[in-house]
């Protein structure tokens, strides 16, 4: 009886250790969310400070996403060459440099370049965290721990928006007003990312390397030590499993991804997941929502407050996803999410498409329409946060076999950021053309995502990474 109790306590302790290790890795996700959302409160001030057109501000704000595509593409290669934890340190340095540069930018051009540097860090973090977490976590915990990436992302979004609101309030309600040291409030919003960027690098130096990477590099003894601290006596057998699954590996090349239709079917599925996650328009809510709600009559301060509330909704639903992803599976959650997003986006498309306009051409939601739009927007975020937000990251971390995981993640991650760039850079112009049109397009993407899941997604719940085809 005592042996059983001791074994249970040991398993509980190792599970807690895995959670702590995964949490450190997911700090990259926090920075990912923070970096992409902190621009929300600064968009209007940037446009007025640098006298930018809608198209110019759209490209400038979205320049980080081009960097993210590059970072995602090279992140897998760096991780396979340098190791997962060292790659996290590289991302930390790039986060810090990009943050400092964008906060003191002199014009829209150099601002865009610094955002590009920070974007490379975001791209690296977006592929390294799910890969590392999937490789360090036991199968029965992998879904929940993989969801930590999305929890970290939405927490970063919340923190960024809360910081934006607090700084704007301290500056008298506007990001354009001067704050400390005579610098405009929007600059402090961007510089606020520096402390967590530094902490990410420190944390990466304190966690163990991925056992699958160590086995791939013929460092079996070190891999065995890491696994022993996680799964105990099964470490030796696990090392042998990993060794066998990697036996056909030959340093990993992008040519390994080639298939009958240009790429392997599983790689196309990963790309499809990444693209649909962005084409439903979720980042419009977190990049431009303060401008969006101002356009329909809310003050700048109230618009930032609404955005903070929306980000809280995102966090709450991510906790629900973490609690259910290993119970109900990946595919059912994606189906529920697609249906919910199609309905809520459709409602927003109708409301904005039939709204009146003020003298400046901005939509005016009269009576209950404004309240319904707010509710629909938050329900949309709820549906995304319950499904496509966390589940896509879980699937991308676990759906590829060991031989192609790094390269396949790099390609899928790059596709995700390119899709994000397309959505985010076109929204300012779509907003001018009509919000009904914009949300109508996102509704169509949500419907298409449902068809995609029903036809192409296979359940991966409970499978070991070594069992992936």
411's CB contacts (< 8 A; 6+ apart) are 73, 254, 257, 263, 267, 270, 271
pLDDT at res. 13: 43
pLDDT at res. 4: 37
What is the phi-psi region of residue 383: left when phi exceeds 0, alpha when psi lies from -120 to 50, beta otherwise? alpha
Tokens linked to 10: 């040991």
Tokens linked to 432: 């001018």
Tokens linked to 166: 């607090």
- Cα distance between residue 198 and residue 254, in whole Å: 32
Tokens linked to 400: 């590829």
- Each of the 469 residues of the chain gets a pLDDT tens digit; together they read 444 343 443 444 456 667 777 777 778 788 878 877 777 777 777 777 777 676 777 777 777 778 887 887 788 778 888 888 888 899 999 989 998 898 887 888 888 888 889 889 888 887 787 777 777 766 666 666 666 776 787 788 888 878 888 888 887 777 777 778 778 787 888 888 888 889 888 888 887 887 777 877 777 778 777 777 776 667 777 776 677 666 655 455 656 666 676 777 888 888 999 999 999 988 777 656 666 666 656 666 777 777 777 778 777 887 787 777 777 778 888 999 999 999 999 998 888 888 766 655 666 667 777 778 878 888 888 889 888 887 887 788 777 776 777 678 778 877 887 888 888 778 777 777 777 888 899 999 999 999 999 988 877 655 555 454 5
Report whether 277 contacts 393 (CB < 8 A): no
pLDDT at res. 348: 86
- Cα distance between residue 31 and residue 50, in whole Å: 26
Partners of 364 in beta bridges = 356
pLDDT mean across residues, the chain: 77
Query: Which residue, 393, 418, 463, is CA-closest to 70?
Result: 418
187's CB contacts (< 8 A; 6+ apart) are 103, 104
- Cα distance between residue 277 and residue 442, in whole Å: 11
357's CB contacts (< 8 A; 6+ apart) are 363, 364
Tokens linked to 424: 């985010």
Query: Which residue, 124, 407, 137, is CA-closest to 250?
Result: 407
Residue with tokens 């809360």: 162
Phi first, then psi, for residue 260 (nearest 5°) are -60, -35
For the chain, the 3-state helix, strand and coil shares in percent, each to the nearest 5, are 80, 0, 20
CB atoms within 10 A of CB 253: 11
453's CB contacts (< 8 A; 6+ apart) are 331, 334, 335, 338
- Cα distance between residue 438 and residue 423, in whole Å: 10
pLDDT at res. 400: 79
Helix (H) or strand (E) holding 450: helix 435-456
Angle between helical axes of 435-456 and 265-279 (0-180°, round to 10):
150
By the 10 Å C-beta count (0-12 exposed, 13-18 middle, 19+ buried), 231 is classed as middle
pLDDT at res. 290: 63
> pLDDT (tens digit, 9 = 90+) per residue, 387-431?
888 788 778 877 777 677 767 877 887 788 788 888 877 877 777
By residue count, the chain amounts to 469
> What is the C-alpha radius of gyration for the chain, rounded to an integer number of angstroms?
22
Report whether 108 contacts 52 (CB < 8 A): yes
Query: Which residue, 81, 452, 405, 69, is CA-closest to 257?
Result: 405
DSSP state, residue 210:
P
């Amino acid at each position: 009886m005592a042996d059983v109790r001791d074994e249970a306590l040991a398993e509980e302790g190792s599970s807690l250790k895995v959670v702590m290790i995964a949490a450190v890795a997911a700090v990259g996700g926090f920075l990912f969310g923070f970096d992409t959302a902190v621009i929300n409160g600064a968009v209007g001030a940037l446009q007025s400070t640098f006298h930018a057109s809608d198209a110019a501000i759209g490209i400038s704000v979205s320049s980080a996403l081009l960097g993210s595509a590059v970072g995602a593409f090279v992140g897998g290669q760096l991780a396979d060459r340098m190791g997962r934890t060292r790659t996290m340190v590289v991302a930390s340095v790039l986060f810090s440099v990009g943050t400092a540069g964008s906060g003191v930018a002199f014009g829209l051009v150099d601002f865009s370049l610094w955002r590009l540097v920070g974007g490379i860090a975001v791209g690296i973090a977006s592929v390294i965290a799910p890969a590392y977490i999937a490789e360090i976590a036991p199968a029965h915990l992998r879904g929940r721990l993989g969801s930590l990436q999305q929890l970290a992302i939405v927490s970063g979004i919340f923190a960024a928006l809360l910081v934006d609101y607090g700084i704007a309030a301290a500056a008298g309600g506007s990001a354009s007003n001067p704050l400390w040291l005579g610098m405009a409030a929007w600059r402090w919003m961007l510089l606020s990312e520096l402390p967590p960027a530094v902490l990410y690098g420190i944390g990466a130096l304190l966690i163990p390397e991925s056992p699958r990477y160590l086995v791939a590099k013929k460092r079996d003894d070190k891999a065995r030590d890491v696994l022993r601290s996680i799964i105990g006596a099964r470490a030796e057998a696990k090392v042998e499993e990993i060794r066998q699954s990697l036996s056909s590996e030959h340093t990993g090349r992008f040519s390994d991804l080639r298939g009958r239709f240009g790429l392997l079917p599983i790689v196309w599925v990963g790309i499809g997941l990444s693209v649909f996650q962005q084409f439903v328009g979720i980042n419009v809510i977190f990049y431009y929502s303060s401008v969006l709600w101002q356009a329909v009559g809310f003050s700048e301060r109230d618009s930032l407050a609404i955005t903070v509330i929306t980000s809280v909704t995102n966090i709450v639903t991510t906790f629900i996803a973490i609690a259910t992803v290993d119970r109900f599976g990946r595919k059912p959650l994606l189906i529920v999410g697609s249906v919910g997003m199609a309905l809520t986006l459709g409602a927003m498309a109708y409301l904005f498409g039939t709204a009146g306009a003020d003298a400046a051409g901005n939509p005016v939601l009269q009576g209950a329409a404004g309240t319904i739009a707010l509710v629909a927007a938050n329900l949309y975020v709820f549906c995304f946060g319950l499904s496509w937000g966390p589940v896509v990251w879980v699937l991308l971390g676990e759906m590829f076999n060991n031989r192609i995981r790094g390269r396949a993640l790099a390609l899928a991650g790059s596709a995700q950021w390119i899709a994000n760039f397309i959505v985010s850079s076109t929204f300012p112009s779509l907003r001018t053309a009509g919000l009904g049109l914009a949300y109508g397009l996102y509704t169509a993407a949500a419907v298409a995502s449902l068809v995609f899941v029903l036809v192409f997604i296979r359940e991966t719940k409970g499978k070991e990474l070594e069992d992936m085809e």
